[in-house]
Structure 1
Amino acid sequence: NQTWDFIEKEDRNPDEDEMMVHCAHTSRYHWGIVGVSLNFQRGDWILSRVYTILKRGSEALHYAKLCMKHTEENNIKDFDLAYAYEALARSYAAAEDKTNFEKYNNLAKEAGDKIEKKQNREIFKNDLKTGNWFGLK
């Protein structure tokens, strides 16, 4: 997915930032047509991540909440549950809401500890340590 190419690019310019947003929305749109609940959940997660990277907290939070809605309504667990909490924690950090950041960061850590596959658990824990936490971590 081209969205990841933009996410991983360290020196994006403003036009590339906008293309990253468009790519994420396009991906979510297409998965919304042909995908299943897990695809919807992951699509909303990546939108939340993109908006967090761009320091657009309210938009990040909107998609993090949608991600969690799909997670809860479809009883999605393990790796994806941990990332749903991570999206909320990171979005609340971007929105400068320390109380909710702490709540969801703790839930993310707890869910991360329960990820069944060791490799996935390690990937998640590394992701939780990295990235912009807007001074709250």
Structure 2
Amino acid sequence: MPDSENLIRRQMAEQMQETFASGLNAVTWALLRSGSRSAADDEKMLYAAFASAYHYLETGSAAEQQRAEWLISRVYAVLGNGRESLRHAERCNALTLANAADMAEYDKAFALEALARANAVAGNAVEADKIRAQAEAAGKAIVDEQSRKVFMDELNWK
């Protein structure tokens, strides 16, 4: 097989991974925002978040991987599983710190938001309040007005 054909196949595979990642991310968000979900919807939401993370791991940037961990943490928080929510929030935060130069300004705030929310769901109220205050300060420092508004709306869970 010629090198050019191999290159085209690799590019197509990457494009498919990106399409799956973003599509599954959208499915997860649609289910998160759904007014009423069945147990089957909850399961689909969790699997979609994990599948999106897998595809971002295969082809995405550090920021996309960080955001995928954030989304998994959020899904677990919504499902009431504080232990798993906290585990993925910690992974999100670790990716944020390890790849600071690759993150948008709001990624740090969202990593802190995930840690705060996960701690709250896990029953660690004091830690949740402390980290939530850090998240709020990081959110207020977001320069882009629209990004700041989106973040503050997401932080408005208490």
Identify the TM-score tier after normalising by the shorter chain: over 0.9
Q: CA deviation at 1:77?
A: 5.0
Q: Which runs of 5+ in 2 are unaligned?
A: 1-25
Tell me the SS of whatever aligns to 2:143: coil
* Contact 1:71–1:77 (Cα < 8 Å) also in 2: no
Once the two structures are superposed, what CA deviation does each residue of 1:107-131 show, in whole Å capped at 9, x if it has no partner?
100100110101111111121113x
Alignment pair present for 1:36 and 2:58: no
Structure 1 vs Structure 2 CA RMSD: 0.9
Alignment partners' CA distance in 2, 1:127 and 1:32: 24
Alignment pair present for 1:17 and 2:42: yes
Alignment partners' CA distance in 1, 2:68 and 2:156: 22
Instruction: Show the counterpart of 2:20.
Output: none
Instruction: Show the counterpart of 1:134.
Output: none
Instruction: Considering Cα pairs closer than 8 Å and 6+ residues apart, tell me whether 1 or 2 has the greater RCO.
Output: 1
Q: CA deviation at 1:68?
A: 0.1
Alignment pair present for 1:98 and 2:125: yes
Tell me the SS of whatever aligns to 1:70: helix
Q: Which runs of 5+ in 1 are unaligned?
A: 131-136
Q: Please report the TM-score for the alignment, with normalisation by the length of structure 2.
A: 0.81
Moved more, 68-77 or 45-54: 68-77
Match of 1:82 among 101, 109, 114: 109
Count of residue pairs the alignment pairs up: 131
Q: CA deviation at 1:54?
A: 0.2
Alignment partners' CA distance in 2, 1:16 and 1:77: 31
Q: Please report the TM-score for the alignment, with normalisation by the length of structure 1.
A: 0.93
Q: Partner letter of residue 39 of structure 1? A: E
Alignment partners' CA distance in 1, 2:96 and 2:84: 18
Q: Which structure: larger Rg?
A: 2
Q: Which structure has the highest helix share of the two?
A: 2
Instruction: Show the counterpart of 2:6.
Output: none
- Poorly superposed stretches of 4+, deviation over 2 Å: none
